[in-house]
Amino acid sequence: MTALSSPQITVEDYEQAAKTLMKALFIREKYSRLAYHRFPRTVAQFLRSAENQTWKEEDEVLPDVCPCPREGEDPYSIENIPDNLSYELQTKDGIVYVYENAEALSQNRPRSLPYPDLETFAIDLSHVLAMIVDGPTKTYCHRRLNFLGSKFYLHEMLNEMAELKELKGVPHRDFYNVRKVDTHIHAAACMSQKHLLNFIQTTYKTEADRVVLEKGGRKLTLREVFEHLNMDPYDLTVDSLDVHAGRQTFHRFDKFNSKYNPVGASELREIYLKTDNLIDGEYFARIIKEVSHDLEESKYQHAEPRLSIYGRSADEWDSLSKWFIQHKVHSTNMQWIIQVPRIYDIFKSKKLITNFAKMLENIFLPLFEATVNPQKHKELHVFLKYVTGFDSVDDESKHSDHMFSYKSPKPEQWTADENPPYSYYLFHMYANIMVLNNLRKERGLSTFQFRPHCGEAGSITHLVSAFLTADNISHGLNLKKSPVLQYLYYLAQVPIAMSPLSNNSLFLEYSKNPLREFLHKGLCVSLSTDDPMQFHYTKEALMEEYAIAAQLWKLSTCDVCEIARNSVLQSGLSHQEKKHFIGANYLKDGPEGNDIRRTNVAQIRMAYRHETLCNELSFLVDAVKTEAAIGTQPE
């Protein structure tokens, strides 16, 4: 099945496409390595071979995640915290720089960490931006993707029964007890609407006279809050709670956002869904712990909830980590991710910050400080053990007039009322995370993955920024619209957490969702819930998500188990946990890396995926090498 020889693409076009695609992969590899993001071995091996080098296992970089505390160990222990250092920190161009000491700072000699260079980044970005509209590359990618689709179809027809037979032979393992990670879920909506309703009713029954809110200088009890809202919690229903998305929210992200307010009342959001309120976020912690309890009971389900850091002020981190430790929110079945909403414009209009650099500083400087001087920030230090990454969130369909380039105003100069564009946010978040990861790696601390929302709506250029900067993304719907980007995400096996039920309520009807197509072609997709409170009906939101996908798209057991395996790969689970959940050799690609007794993914499928990817990569490498060989031939 070597289907490259095609009447509609010339050798020149093929070489041109191959060259640009290879370059894009080199670029992604560079930024992945810099940030300790995962980059698949097979791709790295082909890149080395294109450079006539040999890939070495030592070269592989991986995120460092703290393994879960051992049985009996106190996850909140503030013993054995590393010493403080004498380092100095300073923000420049929105990025935190690290200095050996005060002297180095005064001489402006930062430590030799790989600081990002905006100019290089802008050039790299423009390379990929140019590719996505380049005719020959578009044709090539389009054809390869079609080929991948047809090839899988053939694979399925030929091997469906053989895959099933393999799975039937696997003892004790089936779809119900393979590990599944809900790779994209917001903490403030991680419970079902019914769960939230019951929780509200329970608190009212048992703690009606507790002071829970301060409003206009007056302290209010729960009873007073509900009196003020003119409602009896006993009569409350999911209808009056009104947190569920419906037909009204389709293409209305604004209406959707207001669904976070139970009964349309921001008071209830404040009381029940915030970490930093008059009751120190106790209710929010309790309800999250009920959710994690259910996950632990289920044993095989994990979730990666997003908690918010806004960048409005510098003390958000202390407050959040205090909340986490005070209420003992850690769970073995949850890995935490910090989401940063892209709402500079709101803070600016409220005069909470003066420029964009201030927002970045509020977000990142505390992390550098806790990394340099953990003894001064014990709680934050402990909390960061359980934070595995960062997310960038907001409505992507909002248009921006500004085009990000190296000529863009520096964050300190971004004093306009307008919000910076998506790419501007991404670069600056990536840059800080990258430096931070290198600093933390030096200190033997855990690193963070950058896992932004991307391609849910809006411009396809968002997907270009994320291709450079993200370990993996959430949504990726817009890959539908660009064959070049879709093929690049395939080649680099960039994981994509997809949430078709969320999309169905917000941006794209279920039947038009590309998940099935992406899965078939071999993109690394996982399933996630996004917001169970708003989108799901049953008690087990992630199972509902899998069930609907399996029903509607008639996915086979092998398909859903492949998705579940992808979700573990994509997650922020530690290396140890991943070895336990999907096999000791999971870093190896292909059947060798698959422990079928743990994943329930057929080896036939794994072999098919691996061979197919190698085939695609070798076409590119061959083209580049041939060209190089011709170039160096004696004339």
Given 37, 327, 428, 475, which residue is catalytic? 475
**DSSP-assigned letter for residue 264:** G
Report the run of H or E that residue 389 belongs to, with start and end.
Answer: strand 387-393
Is 111 a binding residue for a second copy by CB under 8 A? The answer is no
Which among 389, 394, 273 is positioned nearest to 345, based on CA atoms? 394
Choosing from 130, 176, 403, 418, the residue that interacts with a second copy (CB under 8 A) is 176
Name the helix (H) or strand (E) containing 497: strand 496-498
Q: Count each helix (H run) and each strand (E run) in the chain, helices first.
A: 26, 13
Per the DSSP assignment, residues forming a β-bridge with 110 are: 99
**Site residues (CB under 8 A) for a second copy, limited to 484-503:** 501
Q: Which is nearer to a second copy, 234 or 417 (CB)?
A: 234
Please state the closest distance from residue 536 (CB atom) to a second copy, in A. 7
Identified binder of a second copy from the candidate list 278, 343, 346, 550, rule CB under 8 A:
550
Residue 70 binding a second copy, by CB under 8 A: no
Of the pair 160, 318, the CB lying nearest a second copy is at 160
Q: Is 294 in the site for a second copy (CB under 8 A)?
A: no
Choice from 2, 5, 511, 633 touching a second copy (CB under 8 A): 511
Q: What is the C-alpha to C-alpha distance for residues 187 and 172, in angstroms, rounded to an integer?
A: 33
b vs e for 399-409, b when ≥16 Cβ sit within 10 Å of the residue's Cβ?
ebeeebeeebe
The nearer residue to a second copy, 163 or 361, going by C-beta atoms, is 163
Contacts to a second copy from residues 591-610, by CB under 8 A: 600
Beta-carbon contacts of residue 385 (< 8 Å; ≥ 6 apart): 66, 75, 446
- For a second copy, the binding residues in 330-359 under the rule CB under 8 A are none
- If binding is defined by CB under 8 A, does position 631 make contact with a second copy? no
CA nearest neighbour of 205 among 183, 223, 179: 223
Residue partners of 404: CB distance under 8 A and separation at least 6: 122, 125, 420, 421, 423, 424, 427
Which of 238, 343, 460, 607 is close enough to bind a second copy by CB under 8 A? 238
Q: Does 448 bind a second copy (CB under 8 A)?
A: no
Q: Which of 239, 297, 401, 417 binds a second copy (CB under 8 A)?
A: 239
In the complex, minimum distance from the CB of residue 543 to a second copy, in angstroms, rounded to a whole number: 5
| CB of 105 or CB of 550, closer to a second copy | 550
CA distances from residue 59 to 46, 66, 211, 435, 619 in whole angstroms, order as listed: 14, 21, 56, 19, 24
If the CB atoms of residues 336 and 535 are measured against a second copy, the closer one turns out to be: 535
Cβ at position 213, least distance to a second copy in Å: 23
Member of 6, 10, 106, 237 binding a second copy (CB under 8 A): 237
Residue 205 touching a second copy (CB under 8 A): no
Q: Is 475 among the catalytic positions?
A: yes
Query: Rounded to an integer, what distance in angstroms lies between the CA atom of residue 358 and that of residue 365?
Result: 10
Q: Could you tell me which residues are beta bridge partners of residue 182? A: 303
Q: What is the CA radius of gyration of the chain?
A: 25
The answer to whether 384 touches 367, Cβ cutoff 8 Å, is yes
By CB under 8 A, the count of residues binding a second copy is: 46
In angstroms, the CA 633 to CA 499 distance is: 51
Select from 37, 269, 453, 536 the one that contacts a second copy (CB under 8 A): 536
Nearer to a second copy, 13 or 296 (CB): 296
Three-state secondary-structure class, residue 310? coil
Judged by CB under 8 A, which of 2, 12, 112, 247 binds a second copy? 247
User: In whole angstroms, what is the distance from residue 620 CA to residue 349 CA?
Assistant: 49
CB of 16 to a second copy, least distance (A): 41
Nearer to a second copy, 340 or 498 (CB): 498
Nearer to a second copy, 419 or 600 (CB): 600
Does residue 529 belong to the site contacting a second copy (CB under 8 A)? no
Cβ 314 vs Cβ 365: under 8 Å: yes
- For the CB of residue 513, give the shortest distance to a second copy in the complex, in Å: 11
CB of 224 to a second copy, least distance (A): 20
User: Could you say whether residue 628 binds a second copy (CB under 8 A)?
Assistant: no
Q: Please, what is the minimum distance in Å from the beta carbon of residue 544 to a second copy?
A: 6
Binding a second copy (rule: CB under 8 A), the pick from 235, 254, 401, 635 is 235
Taking the complex as a whole, the smallest distance from the CB of residue 458 to a second copy amounts, in Å, to: 23
The closest alpha carbon to 371, from 307, 321, 315, 436, belongs to 436
Question: Contact between 557 and a second copy (CB under 8 A)?
Answer: yes
Residue with token string 């260079």: 117
For the bound state, the minimum distance from the C-beta of residue 172 to a second copy, rounded and expressed in Å, comes to: 5
Among 19, 173, 289, 378, binds a second copy (CB under 8 A): 173
Are 132 and 489 in contact, with CB atoms under 8 Å apart?
no
Record the tokens describing residue 580, joined without a space. Answer: 């336990």
Q: Which residue has the tokens 């076409």?
A: 619
**Cβ-based neighbour number of residue 48 at 10 Å:** 16
Measure CA 26 to chain center: 22
Please choose, from the candidates 567, 564, 597, the residue with its C-alpha nearest in 3D space to the C-alpha of residue 580.
Answer: 597
168 lines the binding site for a second copy (CB under 8 A): yes
Residue of 14, 31, 175, 383 that binds a second copy (CB under 8 A): 175
Cβ atoms of residues 309 and 370 within 8 Å: no
Report in angstroms how near the CB of residue 554 gets to a second copy at its nearest. 5
Residues pairing with 303 in the sheet: 182, 334
Q: Which residues bind a second copy (CB under 8 A)?
A: 160, 164, 167-176, 194, 232, 234-240, 242, 246-247, 501, 504, 510-511, 535-540, 543-544, 546-548, 550-552, 554, 556-557, 600
Instruction: List residues with catalytic annotation.
Output: 475
